Amino acid sequence: MNSTGFFNSVWLLVAHIPAGRVASYGQIAALLGHPRAARTVGWALHSTPDHLDIPWHRVINSQGRISTDCGEHSPGLQRYLLEQEGLQFDGDYVDMDRYQWQPDMATIEAILAKGHPLARTD
C-alpha cells in the first residue's frame, strides 16, 4: 500500500483530466511538484493497474503527439479514444494550445488533498 507514492499521485491526478482534454507527462510531473520527473510519469502510466480505470489515453507528450508503443495501450487505441472524445489530429499531432488541460492550483490541491482511493493492492 502506498497512497502517498509518486505513482499513486500520478494516477490520482490523471483520473481527473476531463474528457476531451489532454495533459503532457511533464505537466503532470510539474503539477505534482516534480517538474523533471516526466519519464517517471510515463512509467507510472505504463504500470497502471487496469482495475483503476484511469484515462491513461489523456496523457501525451509535450509536442502534442502520442508516445506509447505498449501493446496493451497501443498508439492506435490511444488515438481512437482521443478522437472519440472529440480531439482532432493534424497528422500525428493535436493542438496543445486548444486541448491541454489547464487546472487551477486550487483544483490540484483539492484533488491531492482528497487523496488516494487508488492505493495499490498487490
Partner DNA sequence: ATAATGACTGGGG
Partner DNA sequence: ACCCCAGCCATTA
Question: Under the criterion CB under 7 A, does residue 100 sit at the interface with DNA?
Answer: no
Instruction: Kindly tell me which of 69 and 97 has the beta carbon lying closer to DNA.
Output: 69
Q: Which residue has the cell 502510466?
A: 45
Out of 52, 70, 81, 108, point to the residue binding DNA (CB under 7 A).
70
CB atoms near residue 47 (< 10 Å) = 11
Question: Under the criterion CB under 7 A, does residue 87 sit at the interface with DNA?
Answer: no
Question: Under the criterion CB under 7 A, does residue 101 sit at the interface with DNA?
Answer: no
For 58-109, the DSSP string reads GEE-TTSB-----STT-HHHHHHHHHHTT--EETTEE-HHHHB----HHHHH
Question: Under the criterion CB under 7 A, does residue 88 sit at the interface with DNA?
Answer: no
Question: Under the criterion CB under 7 A, does residue 63 sit at the interface with DNA?
Answer: yes
Burial 60-78 (b: 16+ CB within 10 A, else e): bbeebebbbeeeebeeebb
Instruction: Kindly tell me which of 27 and 99 has the beta carbon lying closer to DNA.
Output: 27
At 22, is the secondary structure helix, strand, or coil? strand
Out of 17, 22, 26, 94, point to the residue binding DNA (CB under 7 A).
26
Beta carbon of residue 40, minimum distance to DNA (angstroms, whole number): 4
User: Site residues (CB under 7 A) for DNA?
Assistant: 2, 5-8, 24-27, 34, 36-48, 56-57, 59, 61-63, 67-70, 73, 78, 93
